[in-house]
């Protein structure tokens, strides 16, 4: 078995990183992965052509498009975005292969029920960051008149009696909110979703449905109302910038020192992160279309970081900010309220010299100098955290497990290298 450096990122490759270099430059942020996946699924309901702009072929996006193709849809990346024609779709069954690759495959339930009044999918896969049950999706769809059964690892939905209704979510689940919005968009009658999630991606979905002729209002609040329509037409739509990718690059800039600007993202979506970066000693400048972070890389503890539903600190940035705390002077406290296995990267960070003690859903992080090591990504955001730690650490690191990182970051190494990072891709060959 031999290795060679290659600019292409493959699932079985690794990043080779020599840390200690400051970062300078700009990163243009593309459409949010967490918006894009439900928007692709929602295109199933339209009777026309859809174009989603500023999209990149992350593996999650590719897998969601693969699900649409398996149902009969036409879709491809073109002109810097995604073209979708869902009119040929007639299938309503998503096999275990496609569903097993992607947690967000569950988003196809609402659109298929709304359009074809029937859906059958295997339980979705994705990163193993803790139980993410779809019980809120199922109970919500039942409240809208769908007959939902679970049978041998499959979810079977009969939507012939789909109608508007009142749904009260006991927890502001983003995925359940989005699935219910999509199902209700073509269900006869009026739907009220109480306890809805308020993330920016919810507003993206509302605006897309409305651009296609739907009638949804209230996104951004805990109460969303939907008046069902009989059909939706195609549309061109520009999703919001990826606040999680933007936050990742900002954390990298704060950890390494220098000056990094992210553009194409609403700075208000990053306010909880920028508060913590300032608390850690970084300089932050917010603009209407982006954020700049600068400093000398000498950080101190930001104190307590506690994740929560939007507008709380995003769980998707908890792992990257844990990497920041690992090299910041002082003691930090991380509390994870959403996913119990979000600290999987801690053991890998400890290989780099980090002093992290995990107890349940809380971690105590005592900042110290990090050094290079061979580490392995075990989930998407944890993998990004390992890359950031390697950029700051003294010496050479090898980060493997790129299949996880590629789910949400396209050309991660290339963008970091453009900022001055010493990072190359090494792909295995026989």
Are the C-beta atoms of residues 188 and 164 closer than 8 Å to each other? yes
pLDDT at 342: 81
Determine if the peptide bond prior to 416 is cis (ω within 30°). no
Q: What is the pLDDT of residues 108-134, one digit of tens each?
A: 999 999 999 999 998 775 444 344 468
49: three-class secondary structure by DSSP? strand
Residue 48 pLDDT class (50, 70, 90 cuts): very high
Which of 376, 413, 393, 396 has the alpha carbon at shortest distance from 326?
Answer: 393
Helix (H) or strand (E) holding 66: helix 59-70
Q: What's the count of helices (H) and strands (E) in the chain, helices before strands?
A: 14, 25
Average pLDDT, the chain: 93
Give the list of residues 6+ apart from residue 397 with CB closer than 8 angstroms, or none.
Answer: 15, 16, 17, 18, 19, 352, 372, 373, 374, 375, 386, 389, 390
Average of per-residue pLDDT across 166-187: 97
Percent of the chain residues topping a pLDDT of 70: 94
**Cβ neighbourhood burial of 204 (10 Å; 0-12, 13-18, 19+):** buried
Q: Are strands 235-237 and 118-122 parallel, antiparallel or unpaired?
A: unpaired
Which of 104, 228, 90 has the alpha carbon at shortest distance from 162?
Answer: 228
Average of per-residue pLDDT across 256-271: 97
pLDDT at 3: 35
**What is the CA angle 201-339-377, rounded to 5?**
90
Catalytic residues: 127
pLDDT at 125: 57
Q: What is the pLDDT of residues 225-247, one digit of tens each?
A: 999 999 999 999 999 999 999 99
Residue 429 pLDDT class (50, 70, 90 cuts): low
Instruction: Please name the residue ranges forming H helices in 229-359.
Output: 243-256, 271-279, 318-326, 345-351
Domains defined for the chain, CATH in brackets: 2-21+268-273+299-429 (3.65.10.10), 33-237 (3.65.10.10)
**Does the predicted TM-score (pTM) go above 0.85?**
yes
Q: Picking from 45-49, 82-86, 131-135, which range would have the lowest pLDDT averaged per residue?
A: 131-135
Please state, in angstroms and as integers, the Cα–Cα distance from residue 152 to each residue in 96, 147, 149, following that order: 11, 17, 10
- Residue 184 clears pLDDT 50, i.e. is over it: yes
Average of per-residue pLDDT across 208-212: 98
């Amino acid at each position: 078995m031999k290795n060679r450096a290659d600019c292409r990122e493959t699932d079985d490759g690794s990043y080779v990183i020599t840390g200690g270099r400051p970062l300078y430059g700009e990163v243009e942020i593309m459409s949010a992965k967490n918006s894009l996946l439900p928007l692709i699924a929602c295109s199933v309901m339209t009777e026309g052509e859809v174009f989603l702009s500023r999209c990149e072929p992350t593996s999650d996006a590719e897998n969601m498009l693969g699900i649409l193709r398996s149902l009969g849809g036409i879709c491809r990346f073109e002109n810097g975005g995604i073209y979708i024609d869902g009119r040929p779709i007639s299938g309503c069954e998503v096999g275990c292969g496609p569903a097993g690759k992607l947690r967000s495959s569950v988003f196809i339930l609402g659109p298929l029920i709304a359009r074809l009044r029937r859906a059958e999918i295997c339980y979705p896969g994705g990163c193993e960051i803790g139980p993410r049950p779809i019980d809120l999706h199922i109970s919500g769809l039942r409240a809208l008149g769908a007959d939902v059964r679970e049978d041998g690892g499959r979810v079977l939905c009969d939507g012939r009696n789909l109608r508007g209704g009142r749904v009260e979510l006991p927890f502001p689940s983003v995925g359940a909110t989005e699935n219910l919005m999509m199902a209700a968009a073509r269900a006869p009658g009026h739907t009220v979703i109480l306890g809805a999630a308020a993330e920016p991606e919810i507003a993206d979905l509302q605006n897309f449905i409305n651009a296609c002729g739907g009638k949804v209002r209230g996104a951004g609040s805990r109460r969303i109302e939907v008046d069902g329509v009989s059909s939706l037409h195609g549309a061109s739509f520009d999703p919001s910038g990826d606040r999680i990718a933007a936050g990742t690059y900002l954390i990298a800039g704060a950890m390494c020192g220098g000056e990094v600007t992210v553009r194409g993202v609403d700075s208000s979506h990053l306010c909880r992160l920028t508060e913590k970066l300032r608390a850690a000693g970084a300089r932050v400048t917010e603009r209407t279309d982006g954020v700049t972070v600068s400093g000398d890389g000498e950080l101190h503890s930001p104190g307590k970081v506690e994740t929560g539903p939007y507008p709380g600190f995003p769980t998707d940035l908890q792992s990257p900010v844990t990497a920041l705390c690992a090299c910041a002077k002082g003691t930090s406290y991380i509390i994870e309220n959403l996913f119990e296995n979000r600290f999987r990267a801690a053991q890998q960070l400890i290989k780099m010299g980090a002093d992290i003690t995990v107890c349940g859903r809380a971690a105590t992080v005592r900042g110290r100098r990090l050094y290079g090591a061979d580490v392995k990504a075990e989930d998407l955001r944890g993998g990004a955290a390992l890359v950031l730690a390697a950029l700051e650490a003294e010496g050479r690191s090898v980060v493997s497990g790129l299949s996880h990182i590629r789910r949400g970051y396209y050309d991660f190494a290339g963008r970091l290298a453009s900022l001055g990072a010493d990072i190359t891709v090494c792909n295995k060959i026989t």
